[in-house]
Amino acid sequence: MRNYNSRKRILVTGGAGFLGSHLIDRLLDRGDEVVCVDNLFTGAKRNIEHLHSHPRLEFMRHDVTFPLYIEVDQIYNLACPASPIHYRHDPVQTTKTSVHGAINMLGLAKRLRARIFQASTSEVYGDPAIHPQPESYWGNVNPIGPRSCYDEGKRCAETLFFDYYRQHNLDIRVARIFNTYGPRMHPNDGRVVSNFIVQALKGEPITIYGEGQQTRSFCYVDDLIDGIVRFVDAEPGFAGPINLGNPSEFTIRELAQQVLDIVGEKSKLVFCPLPADDPTQRKPDIALAREKLGWEPRVKLEEGLKKTVSYFEDLLLEGE
């Protein structure tokens, strides 16, 4: 598509979701036109309602498992349930979203000769035998487990992206996103940060799976969006994959304590059996992101948690 000025027309699939809505904010702030596509399975209109009358935003309710005919300059493919509760609710549809969605968006990008970004995931590493995880690690994934609809769906999407890159010389960007948190997370998505905050604010027991010694690395959403935009705006020649996440590592018990310190000591810790195939450790090696993008996270966990707690406090007051 020909661009007659510096303003781009950009498609964001999954645009009403947690990450997608923050990305749209960033793109609109810099002057782009944005087409937000979402079927609202896990996304929510409230995430973009502050943009309701924005003259450069268009919302389209559409499922990416079906072809989309539109004219744009760039594509960010973020459409897919990303929490175990959501993707296990309909695992077949989750796989279709990752695979058919990738095929449809890649076909669109091929027709338009548009640069296309794929939101992949740290779940492609499975329960890693290498720590921290570099992009060169092929992963340790159960292909038939309860999480495989998401893990293997994203792995297949990566395969498709790189096959289009090799076969059709398509301008692709693939990022493996590690645990990200912040305002607009779904309150019932089952992710550990939102779970702990909502439970603590309600004074309910905080549910910890296993002994709570499994580790995660938590990246604040603003930092992640900055990394994604830098990656897509970089000069052609580097397709990825690239890790985007925070290399600061915390145990789940440490996270629970930080949430309690912010909210107040009203909740008790309750320990439950560890879910099947739940990774025991997760930490990104971001040397490549530092080298290629000059990027690394800046928001400390305590600072990001305070902003996220404030968001959920308002959400609970509204009765959402």
Classify burial at 164, counting beta carbons within 10 Å of its beta carbon; exposed 0-12, middle 13-18, buried 19 or more: buried
Q: Are strands 249-251 and 215-217 parallel, antiparallel or unpaired?
A: antiparallel
For the chain, residues with pLDDT lower than 50 are 1-4
Residue 219 has what pLDDT? 97
150, 165, 181, 220: the active-site residue: 150
Residue 115 has what pLDDT? 98
- 230 located within any domain: yes
Q: What's the rounded Cα separation, in Å, for the pair 249 and 282? A: 8
Q: Report whether 13 contacts 75 (CB < 8 A).
A: yes
Residue 3 has what pLDDT? 46
Rg of the chain in Å (alpha carbons) = 19
- 306 located within any domain: no
Return the SS3 of 217: strand
Widest pairwise Cα distance in the chain: 59
Return the SS3 of 289: helix
Alpha-helix residue ranges (DSSP H) falling in 53-191: 84-89, 91-112, 148-168
Residue 1 has what pLDDT? 42
> One-letter amino acid identity for 80?
C
Domain of residue 75, residue span: 9-181+219-246+282-298
From residue 242, how far is each of 66, 120, 288, 301 by CA, in Å?
Answer: 28, 9, 7, 22
Residue 236 has what pLDDT? 87
- 133 located within any domain: yes
Q: What's the rounded Cα separation, in Å, for the pair 140 and 82? A: 19
Total domains present in the chain: 1
3-class SS letters over 27-84:
HHHCCCEEEEEECCCCCCHHHCHHHCCCCCEEEEECCCCCCCCCCCCEEEECCCCCCH
The two structure tokens encoding residue 307: 């902003």
Strand partners, 242: 175
- 135 located within any domain: yes
Whichever domain contains 82, its CATH number is 3.40.50.720
- 186 located within any domain: no
- 265 located within any domain: no
pTM score, whole prediction: 0.93
- The values of phi and psi at residue 216, to 5°, are -140, 160
Q: What's the rounded Cα separation, in Å, for the pair 198 and 181? A: 13
pLDDT digits (tens, 9 = 90+) for 127-173: 899 999 999 999 999 999 998 999 999 999 999 999 999 999 999 99
State yes or no: is 87 an active-site residue: no
The two structure tokens encoding residue 26: 């960033």
- 81 located within any domain: yes
- 225 located within any domain: yes
Among the listed residues 179, 304, 201, the one whose alpha carbon sits nearest the alpha carbon of residue 260: 201
- The values of phi and psi at residue 315, to 5°, are -65, -45
Residue 320 has what pLDDT? 54
Residue 177 has what pLDDT? 98
Residue 4 has what pLDDT? 43
Residue 2 has what pLDDT? 42
Q: Tally the residues of the chain.
A: 320
Among the listed residues 6, 5, 21, 3, the one whose alpha carbon sits nearest the alpha carbon of residue 186: 21
